[in-house]
Amino acid sequence: MTSASTSVSPRIVLDPTDETAVVARESAARPESLTGLTVGLLDISKPRGDVFLNRVEEHLVELGAAVKRFTKPTFAKPAPVDLRQEIATSCDAVIEALAD
């Protein structure tokens, strides 16, 4: 029996927003450490997203990060501009929770 050679394809990240034309985006630079940084946790208001973010927060605090929590009014629409602005101006990094 011979084994077939498998090749690894590059990863493709799909943007779930309703864009009519694909926009090329580069990944954001990752910090070397989270110590001393503020990480925003964005709950999109789906059931149990807060449960997931509670555990994430525990781990981030253990890594030395400060944590700020945010919640979208509804998962059905993008976050309001004022909420996005607050997150962007007060956090060094953001984690968004999805729970399905």
Give tens-digit pLDDT for 20-49: 777 777 887 888 999 999 999 999 988 888
Which strands form 38-43's sheet, in the order they lie side by side? 66-71, 38-43, 93-97
Instruction: Choose the weakest-confidence range: 28-32, 61-65, 78-82.
Output: 28-32
The Cα 10–Cα 33 span in angstroms is 27
Report residue 53 CA to chain centroid gap.
11
What pLDDT is recorded for position 85?
95
Q: Which residue has the tokens 């060094």?
A: 92
The Cα 100–Cα 61 span in angstroms is 25
Identify the band that residue 18 occupies on the pLDDT scale cut at 50, 70 and 90.
low
pTM over 0.95: no
Which of 71, 10, 76 shows the shortest CA–CA distance to 43? 71
